[in-house]
Amino acid sequence: MAFRIIDKQAGVSIDDIVKLGGMHISTKKAYLKLLVKNPKAFRKKDNISRLVLKNSILPHFYVNRAGYIALLEELSIEVTLKKLILAEVDDMLTLKRYYSRTWFNIETVKLLKTIFSYEDFADKKTVPFNAYHLSSLLNVNVCVYCNRIYTNTVIGSGNSCIIRPTFDHFFSQSSAPILALSFYNLIPSCTFCNSNLKGAKEVNLVDHLHPYLEGFGNDAQFDYIQVAYHQDRSDPRNYFIYIRKNLNTTHPKYKRVFGDGKDDVGNVELFKLEEVYKSHADVVGELVVKMDKLSSIHSDNIVKMVASIGASRQDFYRYYFSNYPEAKDFIKRPLAKLTNDIVAKYCPLVLE
Name the residue nearer to Zn ion (CB basis): 23 or 193.
Answer: 193
Minimum distance from residue 276 beta carbon to Zn ion (Å) = 8
Which among 39-47, 75-83, 189-197, 315-323 is the span making contact with Zn ion, rule CB under 5 A? Answer: 189-197
Q: Which of 31, 121, 145, 184 forms a contact with Zn ion (CB under 5 A)?
A: 145
**Which residue type sits at 169?**
H
Burial level of 181, CB count in 10 A (0-12/13-18/19+)? buried
Minimum distance from residue 64 beta carbon to Zn ion (Å) = 40
Does residue 87 interact with Zn ion by CB under 5 A? no
Residue 346 CB contacts under 8 Å (≥ 6 apart), including other chains: 288, 291
Site for Zn ion in 289-318 (CB under 5 A): none
Name the residue nearer to Zn ion (CB basis): 64 or 189.
Answer: 189
Binding residues for Zn ion, rule CB under 5 A, total 5
Name the residue nearer to Zn ion (CB basis): 56 or 152.
Answer: 152
DSSP SS3 for 154: strand
Which among 80-88, 135-143, 159-167, 289-297 is the span making contact with Zn ion, rule CB under 5 A? Answer: 135-143
- Give CA–CA dist 149/116, Å, rounded: 29
Phi-psi region of 139 (alpha: psi -120 to 50; beta: other; left: phi over 0): left
Give the residue among 123, 207, 134 at the shortest CA–CA distance from 171.
Answer: 207
Does residue 143 interact with Zn ion by CB under 5 A? yes
- Give CA–CA dist 121/110, Å, rounded: 16
Does residue 336 interact with Zn ion by CB under 5 A? no
Name the residue nearer to Zn ion (CB basis): 275 or 300.
Answer: 275
Q: Which of 18, 34, 190, 306 forms a contact with Zn ion (CB under 5 A)?
A: 190
Q: Which of 51, 137, 146, 180 forms a contact with Zn ion (CB under 5 A)?
A: 146
Q: Is-contact 225 239, C-beta < 8 A? A: yes
Q: Is-contact 186 224, C-beta < 8 A? A: no
- Residues forming contacts to Zn ion in the complex (CB under 5 A) are 143, 145-146, 190, 193
